[in-house]
Structure 1
Amino acid sequence: MEYIDRYRGELLEVFAEAEAETGRFPDELGRLGRELIGACHPLKTGGKASVIAYLLPYWMDDITGLGSRVCRDLAVGSLFAMLHYAIVDDLMDGPEAAPADPRRLLALGQLFHAAFQARYARHAAADPERLWALYARYAAEWAAAVGGEPERRADPLDVRQLARKSAPVKLGAAAMLLAAGMDERLPAVEEALDLALAVLQLSDDWQDWAEDLAAPNGNAFLTIVRDALGPDDAEGGEPRPLTERDVKAAVFRRGALARLSRIAGEYAGRIDERAEPPMLILFARTLADGIRRGAEEAEAEVSRLIAGHGFSKLISDLSKI
């Protein structure tokens, strides 16, 4: 993908610097930290997290022209911040979801957070109070999103709600603009980032729906699934738990994935090409296209079954819900 391939050399440097710095953490924390960094290296393992977290400073350089040294520092800092929040997210999901002992992860997460702040502080001289005030706002948006997730169903039509789960990512763009003396562009860039992060969340929710069936409120695709199934999905006023068969019925019979694709495509299309980094636009469109292809494949499968007289069996199987 172009939004990764263009920066392959820099990514090797970013991850090498992050691994070297993490290797200096005390005791076993350095080893564990390097393992977590390696697990999300996009050029070696495919990564487990979205590249926007640490490539955004490079994408913003198309606007700011600050150069590779600033981009690299902020990218390494953003990688540390991403790992900090990933650890918190895992621990929120329960000890069984954590990749290591929770106490050790909490300690490591704090070291990652301190390393992130130190990297960003190198380039905050122009207006450090503004930068950290923005970070406090983004962190509060994230906290509101994850803190209210169990009680509030994710709304696929609410861009800001979707984007808040990844709000700290926006600091990479804010830091670049402040360092370049271009902070007047921040509102427009934040709006574009919210749209891109909303597409990212919809894509993640589609890919993770099976894992989220036990706690579906935080998954916007499962909100679409439940809406597609309609009022018959309720028992005694309370919606019954969703099943894998429900999701397949919503996809193959009710067009749930096609609806998700339309929403993601609309968000990606709203990012202003005249003002925003080209790679951010490409990133959002690539994710939206991935959902679209999934929807097209689902439609093609239904057509194939109809042509082969297998659709009646599919309907029969999916009706047993």
Structure 2
Amino acid sequence: MRWLLNYEEDLQQAFTTADKLLSDLPPSFSQPARDFLDKFHVLKENRSKNYICYLLPYWLQEKSTVPITDCRQIAIANIFGMMYYHLLDDLMDNPEARFKHQLPLADLIHFEFLNIYRSYFPTDSPFWPYFRKYITEWADAVTYENSNNFFLEAPVRVAHRAAPVKLTVAAICLLSNQENTIPLLEDSVDTVLITLQMLDDWMDWEKDLREGSYNCLIALVETKQQLTENHRPTPEEIRQAIYTQGILAEYAQQAETHHQALSNVRRFAQHLYDFHAFLVHNIRQAAEQIEKDRKLLENGGLEYWLSKKIANS
């Protein structure tokens, strides 16, 4: 996992600087902002691990002329951007649970996010049309994800829920006079974001089913079972699809196909490619374990019990 281990010191510095900047917010907001930041500290245990959000500036730096100090500033901007969009997502997903300070806190964090990018790109910079493009993609995705089957009909729109991550692509490429590589890197980041969402959705399908959220795995089951728009599968139907019908193997094959499509990006961002390999491995490993367990069960309960006892010994 060199895509992470090579940059732990840089990440620590980025989070330390972000914490200091948030401590300068008005007193009633600074501590809640710092507490919220701590929930996403990538180097601490039991935290949300938004690796690509923080690491993409460093992954792209290796083939650019951008100083590491500037990449660290972009990583800090991404931390603030991630916090901002998480706060907005929470407000959209839980309209009855709005806290009095949440929206103004989001605005203050958004100001810090914009402030960093403004320090690099004047108002007439081509960066800002890219900015508008990515924010428009995000807005479209979060508005219509529950009324469209994005994963089956337009997979890139699954990635667009995290489209602001691509601001790093525009920033690094423009700062290194490599704007011609933006289309390839945009597409590659979209592909990685799709697979990342697939992994998250495999891990969270029960929660998403319970809450009515869009989920790629559930969408695949719905399509295979030809369910109507108003009928979501039951938990048992999804378990049947996963554990007896082998649908996760098909899911993993889609992730493998994504990985093959990323071969062209290796010369620009090897660690982005390696991170995607890590995601694919996790999906494939889950599918292979389920298939192994299914075959053992077919051969008899005793063989399955013995294999579990040996594995856990």
* AA of the residue aligned to 2:251: L
Question: Who is 2:119 aligned against?
Answer: 122
Distance 1:273 1:187, change over 3 A: closer
1:190 maps onto 2:190 in alignment: no
Residue segments in structure 1 that go unaligned for 5+ positions in a row = 312-321
1:262 maps onto 2:262 in alignment: no
Distance 1:248 1:241, change over 3 A: same
- Paired with 1:16 and 1:49, the residues of 2 have a C-alpha distance of 17
Shift of 1:49: 4.1
What aligned pairs does 1:147-166 form with structure 2 within 5 A after superposition? 147-156=143-152, 158-166=154-162
- Paired with 2:254 and 2:60, the residues of 1 have a C-alpha distance of 26
Distance 1:298 1:216, change over 3 A: farther
- Paired with 2:277 and 2:99, the residues of 1 have a C-alpha distance of 37
Residue segments in structure 2 that go unaligned for 5+ positions in a row = 304-313
Shift of 1:282: 0.8
1:299 maps onto 2:296 in alignment: no
Counterpart secondary structure, 1:208: helix
- Paired with 1:49 and 1:244, the residues of 2 have a C-alpha distance of 27
Shift of 1:11: 0.7
What aligned pairs does 1:68-83 form with structure 2 within 5 A after superposition? 68-83=68-83
Give the conservation status (yes or no) of the 8 Å contact 1:156–1:162.
no
Shift of 1:193: 1.1
* AA of the residue aligned to 2:157: Q
Question: Who is 1:141 aligned against?
Answer: 137
What aligned pairs does 1:271-286 form with structure 2 within 5 A after superposition? 271=262, 272-286=264-278
Distance 1:10 1:106, change over 3 A: same
- Paired with 2:73 and 2:281, the residues of 1 have a C-alpha distance of 31
- Paired with 2:162 and 2:82, the residues of 1 have a C-alpha distance of 9
Residues 87-128 of structure 1: CA deviation (Å, up to 9, x unaligned): 1111111146x6xx5331111111111101111122225x85
- Paired with 2:148 and 2:229, the residues of 1 have a C-alpha distance of 15
Question: Who is 2:306 aligned against?
Answer: none
The percentage of aligned residue pairs carrying the same residue is 29
Question: Who is 1:244 aligned against?
Answer: 235
- Paired with 2:165 and 2:124, the residues of 1 have a C-alpha distance of 18
Question: Who is 1:227 aligned against?
Answer: 223
Total equivalences in the alignment: 302
Distance 1:152 1:310, change over 3 A: farther
Question: Who is 1:207 aligned against?
Answer: 203
* RMSD over aligned Cα atoms: 2.0
